[in-house]
Amino acid sequence: MARIATLKFDRGTLILHPPPKGKAWVEFATWDDRVERFRIPAIQYRALVERLRAEGAVFEDAAKAFAPVVMTPSLSREPYPHQQEALAAWIAAGRQGVVVLPTASGKTYLAQMAMQATPRSTLITVPTLDLMHQWYAHLLAAFPDAAVGLLGGGSRDGLKPTDDGQRTDILVATYDSAAIHAERWGNRYALLICDECHHLPSDFNRVIAEYAIAPYRLGLTATPDRSDGRHTDLNTLLGQVVYSRTAEELAGTALAHHELVPIRVKLSPEERDRYNSLIQTRNQFLEKSKIYLGSIQGWQNFVRASAQSQAGRRAMLAHREARAIALGTAGKLRVLADLLAQHHPERAIVFTNDNATVYRISQDFLIPAITHQTPVKERHTILQNFREGIYRTLVVSHVLNEGVDVPDASVAIILSGTGSSREYIQRLGRVLRKGSGAKQAVLYEVIAEETSEEGVSRRRHIKPPRSSPQLEIVPPVSPYEVFLTPTRKVAEPPAPYETKGDHADSNHDDDVW
């Protein structure tokens, strides 16, 4: 009697043995001489199983170690229309894909909605420890009956059973920790949620998705684009962008109305003369070396050339000094003093691109400062005092761009920054929380006139093209979509984000996932 083909998970891959009848599985498999078995990438699990089932192949699925989870929420509210639309788009895309929403628009609550609509064991990855603890606190409040664990920063909940011998239903992990252990438990979670998912395509982090068999995947980000172009890999790792909204589109509903005000500052005569001299030194070297700074490759060539000769070293030093003049001109500090006086006593956040300027402003204006050097307890104290109104102004570098729950503010002042549109959107998001009343937020962008900073400003305002139309093509129902019913009590009315067709007989869960 022929043995039944068995699909097993093995260190971030799948092994299918003995080979089943039919040809559905052939394009996924590669022969491994070391074990004399066919091996398949774990990320192909869903496509493989769907293909085998469609062909009527007989096989045993011993790969999955995930199970249904009771997701009875104790924390719920009426979702915004864009959250309902995003969830519907994600479900229509087979519960795979990326949702692009601006900072402060409710991506965490959207993830909670997705978890309720897909009640399975869930892995959530985040870039920072602060964000990990924020997610943990939210999930404990939202799902008090579920086992929520942490992996990262000394916590190792996902690596051992809980006190009752069970694995964590929901695991929140940093990208670093999740990547380290990806091949170990890539089969434990049916739903993979990647917050700030633009971090996922890196060489180190991408194994989180590649070694996981999770049939359901959700990416959340304000700006998926990466300077290295690897954002296109998200299509394979998580799925295509299924929903996207900008801060402008959500203003007045989920986000506060806001105004963007550019302010150009002239260099002093002394600063202008020195700046022009330094730029001339740099450009002479670049022209002689046939190096153009209009691309990442051009900058890499400049860095490489600067290490190969004294002239190159002088050109790089000139470039850095010229940049420091543009970013830290005294005229910007005069503008800052005027803006703070104009908006007193509103809460304001001042952003710079370097720590030296942060400490200079902190000392000159007696403003609390936060940089990467600020101890964790001190940072939490500063943010708490800012939240309570004890402090009215903060000055920061890059540490509040991402992964930190920043208290509500209405004024943001960018004195310097990079050309990254992501950084710009994240900084804008720090003043977009709607708050109470008719809040009007404002973001000032202070730029040194006739310097390289003007080009940097133009680059961060470039908007990437919108992805393919949403909800125009609804794919046929996948076997993954059957029997996925949000758990709720008898006679409880449907949640506002549930769509028709989500209420099949949950007793057949084992027949699918």
Tell me which residue of 127, 99, 95 sits closest to 202, measured CA to CA: 127
- DSSP structural state of residue 470: S
DSSP 315-377: HHHHHHHHHHHHHH-HHHHHHHHHHHHHHTTS-EEEE-SSHHHHHHHHHHHT--EE-TTS-HH
Euclidean distance between CA atoms 214 and 191, whole angstroms: 6
Contact present, 319 and 278 (Cβ < 8 Å): yes
Task: Please give the radius of gyration of the chain, using alpha carbons only, rounded to the nearest integer.
Answer: 26
Helical residues (DSSP H) of 366-420, grouped into ranges:
376-387
Question: Mean pLDDT across the stretch 166-177?
Answer: 89
Q: Return the closest-CA partner of residue 280 out of 318, 311, 316, 306.
A: 318
Q: Report residue 45: phi and psi, to 5°.
A: -55, -50
Taking 50 as the threshold, does the pLDDT of residue 87 lie above it?
yes
Distance between first and last Cα of the chain: 28
Q: How far apart are CA 273 and CA 280, in angstroms?
A: 11
Higher confidence at residue 21 or residue 124?
Answer: 124
With bands split at pLDDT 50, 70 and 90, how would you rate the model's confidence at 437? low
Q: What is the DSSP letter of 187?
A: T
Pairing of strands 216-221, 59-61: unpaired
**Higher-pLDDT residue of 460, 363:** 363
Cα angle, residue 188 at apex, residues 183 and 194 outer, rounded to 5° = 75
pLDDT value for 402: 63
Q: Report the alpha-carbon distance of residue 232 to residue 57 in Å, rounded.
A: 33
Which residue type is seen at 161?
P
**Is the domain 81-246 a CATH 3.40.50.300 member?**
yes
By mean pLDDT, which of 6-15, 247-256, 307-316, 363-372 is the weakest? 247-256
Q: What is the mean pLDDT of residues 198-204?
A: 96
Inter-helix orientation angle 107-117/81-92, to 10°: 50
| Helix or strand holding residue 45 (H, E) | helix 45-55
In this prediction, residue 457 has a pLDDT band, given cuts at 50, 70 and 90, of: confident
> Which CATH code is given to the segment(s) 5-61?
3.40.1170.30
Architecture of domain 257-267+329-460: 3-Layer(aba) Sandwich (3.40)
pLDDT confidence of residue 343: 93
pLDDT at 470: 37
> What pLDDT score was predicted for residue 172?
96
- Model confidence pLDDT, tens digit, residues 71-86: 888 877 889 999 999 9
Average pLDDT over residues 246-271: 89
Q: What phi, psi does 476 have (nearest 5°)?
A: -60, 155
The boundaries of every CATH 3.40.50.300 domain in the chain are: 81-246, 257-267+329-460
Q: Which two tokens stand for residue 319?
A: 């470039």
> Could you give the 3-state DSSP secondary structure of residue 446?
strand
Torsion sign, CA atoms 449, 453, 459, 461:
negative
